[in-house]
Amino acid sequence: MSATLTDLEKKQIAQAEELLFSGEEKEGFCKALFFGRFRAQSILPFPELSEAEEVIGDEAVSAVREFCESHIDAAKIDRDALIPDSVIHGLGDMGVLGMTISEQYGGAGMSQQNYSRVMEVIGGHCGSTSVFVNAHHSIGIRALELFGTAEQKEKWMAPLMTGRKLAAFALTEPMAGSDAGNVRTRAEPTEDGTAYILNGEKRWITNGGIADCLTVMARTPDPTQPDGKITAFLVTPDMAGFEVLEERMEKVGIRGTATGRLKFTNMRVPAANVLGPVGKGLRVALTVLDFGRTTFGAGCTGAAKFCVEKMVERANERIQFGKSLGEFELVQQKIAEAAADTYAMESATCHTAALIDSGAEDYMMETAMLKVFASDQLWRIVNDCLQIWGGKGFFTDEPFERMMRDARLNQIGEGANDVLRCFVAAVGLRHLGKEMETLLKKPWEAIKFAPSKPKLPVKHDHMTYFARQIAKQIGAFSWACKTALVKHREGIINQQLIQARLGDIATELFMASCVYSRLTNLLLNGTIEEPVKMREFRTGALYLRMARHRNRQRFDDLKGNYDVETVAVAKDWLNHNFEASN
């Protein structure tokens, strides 16, 4: 049964088609899941660093860990709502703020895999510092490196990488956040074409009020669209009309970051400051957010590892009812599930970073999945960690209440998780739907859409069971997607509850596939001591069982749910007049 789309929805679909699917079609691992396929060549073998790269990463990790422990006081940063200049300059001097930038511009040229290892260390030590580095490097400087001209890079790269000057990425506005296409800031070209006049407001911009160079998204005129298209500009605070309304907005977590609110009034920006092609600003934004989401995953992994370590510490030392906490099954459950989900986060971060290093052209689904899974699971893991620490964990002399406040941002920043769930489903369903359209022209090919399951390569007997279960769920997932498209057709765009379930199933399958790949490598590695190998195997295997269980619940919810009643009650309350009832 098809649903009629509004003119606005048709316009949004057309814009998404132009932005996301205008180039040559590529089928990556995650897109293939929607077709019921397991692209073994995309996930196996699990990525491993070369010996030389591993040495580089080990040295960087060791140096950053020592710096964090000696110079970054996370509690003081939170208390003072300020990251000291000494920390910023120290990170700059160590090369952290330009680690992945090309050596041509003075960076270290580090791989995304090694940089993710570094971000894992920072994320496990201080949430504010992790977000600061991510905003400055992964989406700030990275935009300049990928889209800047030689002149722009020559001017800005060196000072930004030292931390003596700071970068920011200014996209969010009062009416534009996850809906990035709703940017209202306008940039009108001058008559002579040498500059643009910017007017608008930005808010919730990390480093926004203290940055020396900002990538600002603004809408420029375009003959094909009445509202124009979005263009990226390099903006500096010394430009007339640049105003900082709030330098440090007070917030619940990551309090050390300077989250600013900005206003531009008839601000003249030279045409030479356009970053990337005119009208392609959203492409700039989406590209750099892929890098930011990957390092988000790394930061969450570091925080989760810290929590697992602290859960074990508390469970072993705290005695209740004549036993250590670790002897109680409910405590054991929290520790085991936290360790298993952390293992999955780490596995997917490594795989996604390796995709970037490989030069792959499309990994937007993988980075979105990683960001959603890692931030959701960290939120639960921090909560369980605090629960094990009990009353002691509730007080500010321990780090857990701060970590909980910091972790909450991860589910909102760089794409709200619910939006990304629907994004994952929409992208995957779009490709599947296009292929299903061939049924209208070639009904004899319908056999291609019959229920089926892929065959996963099995390199070790211990993985046979898991290969069978993952394959079974991939087949069931593809059939569920096809069923949803047949039932709703274009109207699937308005079925967010269905999209979210499909997005979560796909995400869990991607995580499980990364873990499957990693465990295969582990079992084939003859250099790891058997007790260490078995502990890691049991941890990863537990995750695979947990993933299967969670997906089975989602499949059940697709078939039987109370969505209609949920929507009806929500509408009752949305239409309720609270003032009248009071």
- What number of other Cβ atoms are within 10 A of residue 210's Cβ? 17
Matching residue, tokens 């030479």: 272
Q: Judge whether 208 and 259 are in contact, CB under 8 Å.
A: yes
Q: How far apart are CA 236 and CA 215, in angstroms?
A: 9
> Which tokens belong to 395?
């007080």
Q: Judge whether 267 and 242 are in contact, CB under 8 Å.
A: yes
Name the residue among 523, 526, 530 with its Cα closest to residue 467: 523
Name the residue among 84, 191, 114 with its Cα closest to residue 349: 114
Assign 3-class secondary structure to 206-274: ECCCCCCEEEEEEEEEECCEEEEEEEEEEECCCCCCEEEEECCCCCCCCCCCCEEEEEEEEEEEEHHHE
Q: How far apart are CA 431 and CA 146, in angstroms?
A: 27
Query: Given phi > 0 = left and psi -120 to 50 = alpha, else beta, which region is 228?
Result: left
Question: What are the residue numbers of the active site?
Answer: 414
Half-sphere exposure of 274 (CA within 13 A, CB side): 20
Helix (H, G, I), strand (E, B) or coil at 204: strand
Q: How far apart are CA 564 and CA 506, in angstroms?
A: 24
Q: How far apart are CA 217 and CA 149, in angstroms?
A: 17
Q: In whole angstroms, what separates CA 513 from the centre of its chain?
A: 18
DSSP state of 138: I
**CB burial of residue 5 (10 Å; 0-12, 13-18, 19+):** middle
Name the residue among 142, 152, 160 with its Cα closest to residue 271: 152
